[in-house]
Amino acid sequence: MNHPTGKPITQVYFLGIGGIGMSALARYFLSSGMKVAGYDRSSTPLTDELRKEGMEIHFEDAIENIPSSFKASAQREQTLIVLTPAIPAQHHELNFFREQGYQIAKRSQVLGLITNDVKTFAVAGTHGKLRHLPS
């Protein structure tokens, strides 16, 4: 995956990494050899798992908590910021990335980017559809 400038993306930062869809994308990028880090508002068993897998995750909206490689201007064109709609517009980290000119994409856009050049089979609309079969 490339940045709009043509440079390859080497690191991905998630704003809202703790959701099931965002964590799946984070795992995808980590397994692809990219550096992955992120923010979420609270620690959960899922974020604990992601940390054990090697992702740097913090739980306070503070620019100083963003790992230094993600703030380095030299890395800007090799960094993708993935955003969940749950992040408010006044979020400090989001505004830092916007002001610094980082490429920011919604989770749905990133799904499109990673499936653009491959055949894809997808299932959607499964939330709340689990039914228990009679014994």
On whether the CB atoms of residues 103 and 4 are closer than 8 A, the answer is yes
Q: Tell me: the pLDDT tens digits for 109-120?
A: 998 888 877 777
Single pTM value for the model: 0.86
In the predicted structure, residue 124 carries a pLDDT above the cut 60: yes
Res 120: pLDDT: 72
Range name among 15-24, 57-66, 76-85, 116-125 with the lowest pLDDT average: 116-125
Residue 38 to residue 61: CA distance in whole angstroms: 10
Q: Is the dihedral of CA 86, 92, 93, 95 positive or negative?
A: positive
- Sheet containing 103-106: give its strands across: 56-58, 35-39, 11-15, 79-83, 103-106
Q: Domains (ranges, CATH) in the chain?
A: 11-115 (3.40.50.720)
